[in-house]
Every structure is written in structure tokens, then in C-alpha cells.
């Protein structure tokens, strides 16, 4: 039985895991860098330990120090959150070797799904549709040019070991491909230790829709319906909602079945997400699998009433899922807006000290944050500082609640993307649920260019 857990992460997700630990009577152990010494998540935990300097390689990616603290604190398990070490197969394997439960799937599954080419092949074997593309690592640009011609432009150039939009670029012709191949390969090598690339057909006006799954160690698998995650900037999500306003109930059922099939085919356990691209005709294609909890998991929790972090702990503790698929109910609509410390026009990070905060309040509003007044946002980590989640009986009601909440949201001292979120929530296409992956380029950027030109 898990009695004490170390959270190998920081910020909002660390605070989120700590809340569930409190609910379940699990002692929480936080680890932090020198830059995060005064961050709220540090004091929220039952115990906290300094990892090292601000740089991630000396703190949140310093596995030797993490295991040293885990042994010192005498924990039973390690929760990796998202990002950092959450999809690091070697870390998961070492947890097992060191005698700690890893709150996530087996290392081999993480490794397989972390390699985008291996994941494509696994899904093809399972009979899950994949985006048209190549299934071998591309080592040089001439090979890439040849493959791109056979697939047909535009194509997506992607890092095999990539994630978070790193090493990814839309390419429209041979000239662009030749210019971008080396840079993206080098960037992937620097971030992931693997510079291998591959190509997929670019699906225009696609919807990025994912299915949340839970799988226990006894072979029981359920899905918790879908999330629409199409509003993105720099290939990173900004607004997510559940359920998707685009797909039909028939497609929703089929995608849920496909996600369960995908998880079964690789003997998956714990929480995970199957991500799909869906075209204008509602044809869906496997994109990737995230073998961890997602940033956007709260919208699923809001429409199902299921605490996904709690399920992660129960599964890791070898407990069966406490419900069957037919017992999972969907009620209402939820929308999440990511709060970034960044310039809302140029999307550049905006570190600094938060001097004043006013958070929106109400029974249909959830704030997943880990900042306070006088909190210093540093340049060392991802600029996301929190999430605003709203719900409603219908999507229209949820959109209205989002608009009201964003108008009540105030952060002073730094630039944030709140103005971008406010504008997005007022765009007619958003209110109508027309939210493809081209939304920011088609609706938001032209809007701010007009406004800038008018000034």
C-alpha cells in the first residue's frame, strides 16, 4: 500500500498531486530547485527537499539526487507528473530497480510509445488508423526529399523521439524541407538525444482530439471520453475542452473503442492518452500516445467526476479499477485555458515578479495554480503558471463562464496570455465550436494584426 510518495516535478502539477495525496491520506514529499525555494508547492507538501541549482539538469532531471532523496525520505513511490522525467523509460526502470513504485506504465511501454516510429508500427499492427507517412527513421535530407514527394506536400517533419512541438515543422515544398531538416534534426538531438526524423502527411484544418484511458494491472481498460485540444500556438495547446464540439457521438464511440484497442495491444497500465488527428470528414488517425497524466486532464475530471491522479495511485497499488466502462458517465461541458507568463502577441516568455492577483471565483470555476502575490516567475522552466477550468451544463454555458472568468482574472507585474484567451473566447468561430489546429493562425493572429495596425 502506498503511504508516502515523492513528486518528481514542480509547479502546478506538483500541487495537483499533493491535493490528491491529502485526500487519500498519502504523505507527500516535494523536491525543488533553488529557483523554486519559495514556490507554493514546496510548502504545500508534508515534506520538501532541495534538489540543486535552477538548471533542470542539476535539479528536476538529476535522477541520482532524486533517488538519494527518495531513500532519505523513505518513500514507497514516485509520481513523475508531466514533462521532465514522466516519459523517461530509464527513470521508470530505475525506480523499479531501486525498489520504488513508479506511478505510470512499465518502462518498455514508455520506450515503445516514446519512439514515434515504433508507436506508429504498433498501432498499425493493432489495426488503429495512422496518419499517412513513413515508418523508418530518416537519416539524411535527400532521403527525406524522396519520401516527401511520394507522400505529397505539405508534410509534417517530426522528430522520432520528439514531443511538445520540439523538432516539428510544417513543410510545403522541397526548398523548405532542405532548409529545415538539419536544424530540426539537431534540435531533436539536443533535446532528446536522438536526431532521427520522419514524415507524415499534413492534414489541413484537422482537429486534435484525444481519448483519456485508464488501465489497471488486471487487464481492465476504460476510456473517459474525449478532449478537443486543437487551439494551439507553436504546436503547443492553449485551450482544451471536453467533450469535443466537433465529432459526432458515433465517431466518439469508435474513437473510444480504438483507444482501448491501442492500449490493450501494448499491455498498457495506469493513466494514458491516445491522441488522434481528425479530418473534416471525421476520419481519425493515431498521432501519438502520452504515457503519463496530461496537462489538460482536469476537463475530463470535470465531466466524469473521476479523480485521475487518484486512479493512478490505485492502479500502481495493484488495485482494480473501481468502475466498468458502462458506469462511466459524462455530464456537462468543461473548458480549460492555460495561463502562460508570456507576451500575448509574440508568445515570448515573460519572467518577473507577480505583484498582484485577482482570481475568478464561483462554483463552476476551478483554478489549478501554484503562484501567489510576490511570486517570482523564473526563466528556467515552462512559462505555464496555471490553468483556469470552467464548466457548464452545456457548451454555450461553459463558454459564457469562460468569458466571465477570464474578464475577472487579473495578474499584475508580468505579461500573461490572458488578453489572448479573452480575445479567443470572444471570437465567433470559437463560440460556434469551429476549433481546428489552424485556429490561431486563421482567427487570432489576423485579429491582433488588425488591432496593431489600427494603433
Q: What is the DSSP string of 308-360?
A: HHHHHHHHHTTPPPSS-GGG----SEEEEEEEESB-TTT--B--EE--EEE--
Cell digits for 7? Answer: 513528486
| Rounded-to-integer distance, Cα 366 and Cα 302, Å | 9
The SS3 call for residue 361 is: coil
Q: Decide if 375 contacts 38 (C-beta within 8 A).
A: yes
| Rounded-to-integer distance, Cα 265 and Cα 130, Å | 15
The SS3 call for residue 188 is: helix
Residue 107: CB partners within 8 Å, gap ≥ 6? 89, 90, 92, 93, 96
| Rounded-to-integer distance, Cα 147 and Cα 136, Å | 11
Q: What is the dihedral sign for C-alpha 349, 12, 37, 83? A: negative
Query: Which 8-state DSSP code applies to residue 127?
Result: T
| Given 16, 227, 292, 338, the catalytic residue | 292
| Rounded-to-integer distance, Cα 100 and Cα 91, Å | 11
The HSE-up count of residue 262 (CA atoms within 13 Å, CB side) is: 34
For residue 83, how many other CB atoms are within 10 A of its CB? 20
Cell digits for 413? Answer: 507585474
| Rounded-to-integer distance, Cα 244 and Cα 433, Å | 8
| Rounded-to-integer distance, Cα 119 and Cα 113, Å | 5
Q: Residue 325 — φ and ψ, nearest 5°?
A: -55, -45
Q: Decide if 229 contacts 206 (C-beta within 8 A).
A: no
Q: Decide if 417 contacts 344 (C-beta within 8 A).
A: yes
Beta bridge partners of 226: 211
Q: Does the annotation count 292 as an active-site position?
A: yes
Catalytic residues: 292
Amino acid at each position: 500500500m502506498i503511504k508516502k510518495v515523492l513528486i518528481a516535478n514542480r509547479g502546478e502539477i506538483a500541487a495537483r498531486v499533493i491535493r490528491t495525496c491529502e485526500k487519500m491520506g498519502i504523505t507527500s514529499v516535494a523536491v525543488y530547485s533553488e529557483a523554486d525555494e519559495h514556490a507554493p508547492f514546496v510548502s504545500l507538501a508534508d515534506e520538501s527537499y532541495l534538489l540543486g541549482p535552477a538548471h533542470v539538469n542539476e535539479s528536476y532531471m538529476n535522477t541520482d539526487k532524486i533517488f538519494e532523496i527518495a531513500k532519505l525520505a523513505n518513500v514507497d513511490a514516485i509520481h513523475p507528473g508531466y514533462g521532465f522525467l514522466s516519459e523517461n523509460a530509464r527513470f521508470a526502470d530505475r525506480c523499479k530497480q531501486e525498489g520504488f513504485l513508479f506511478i505510470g506504465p512499465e518502462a518498455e511501454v514508455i520506450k515503445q510509445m516514446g519512439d514515434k516510429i515504433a508507436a506508429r508500427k504498433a498501432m498499425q499492427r493493432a489495426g488503429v488508423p495512422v496518419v499517412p507517412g513513413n515508418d523508418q527513421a530518416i537519416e539524411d535530407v535527400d532521403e527525406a526529399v524522396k519520401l516527401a514527394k511520394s507522400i505529397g506536400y505539405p508534410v509534417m517533419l517530426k522528430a522520432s523521439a520528439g514531443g511538445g512541438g520540439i523538432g516539428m515543422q510544417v513543410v510545403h515544398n522541397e526548398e523548405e524541407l532542405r532548409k529545415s531538416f538539419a536544424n530540426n534534426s539537431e534540435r531533436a538531438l539536443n533535446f532528446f538525444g536522438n536526431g532521427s526524423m520522419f514524415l507524415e502527411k499534413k492534414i489541413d484544418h484537422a482537429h486534435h482530439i484525444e481519448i483519456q484511458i485508464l488501465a489497471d494491472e488486471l487487464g481492465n481498460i476504460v476510456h473517459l471520453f474525449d478532449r478537443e485540444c486543437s487551439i494551439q500556438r507553436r504546436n503547443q495547446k492553449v485551450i482544451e475542452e471536453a467533450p469535443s464540439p466537433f465529432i459526432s457521438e458515433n465517431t466518439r464511440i469508435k474513437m473510444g473503442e480504438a483507444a482501448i484497442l491501442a492500449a490493450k495491444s501494448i499491455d498498457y497500465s495506469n493513466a494514458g492518452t491516445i491522441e488522434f488527428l481528425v479530418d473534416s470528414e471525421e476520419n481519425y488517425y493515431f498521432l501519438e500516445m502520452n504515457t503519463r497524466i496530461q496537462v489538460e486532464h482536469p476537463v475530463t475530471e470535470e465531466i466524469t467526476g473521476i479523480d485521475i491522479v487518484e486512479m493512478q495511485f490505485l492502479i500502481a497499488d495493484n488495485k482494480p479499477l473501481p468502475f466498468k466502462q458502462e458506469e462511466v458517465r459524462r455530464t456537462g461541458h468543461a473548458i480549460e485555458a492555460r495561463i502562460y507568463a508570456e507576451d500575448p502577441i509574440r508568445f515570448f516568455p515573460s519572467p518577473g515578479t507577480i505583484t498582484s492577483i485577482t482570481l475568478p471565483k464561483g462554483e463552476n470555476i476551478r483554478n489549478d495554480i501554484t503562484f501567489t502575490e510576490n511570486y517570482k516567475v523564473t526563466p528556467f522552466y515552462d512559462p505555464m503558471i496555471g490553468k483556469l477550468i470552467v464548466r457548464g451544463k452545456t457548451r454555450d454555458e461553459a463558454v459564457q463562464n469562460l468569458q466571465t472568468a477570464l474578464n475577472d482574472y487579473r495578474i499584475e507585474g508580468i505579461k500573461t496570455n490572458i488578453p489572448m484567451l479573452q480575445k479567443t473566447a470572444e471570437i465567433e468561430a470559437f463560440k460556434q465550436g469551429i476549433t481546428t489546429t489552424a485556429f490561431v493562425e486563421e482567427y487570432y493572429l489576423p485579429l491582433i494584426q488588425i488591432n496593431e495596425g489600427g494603433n
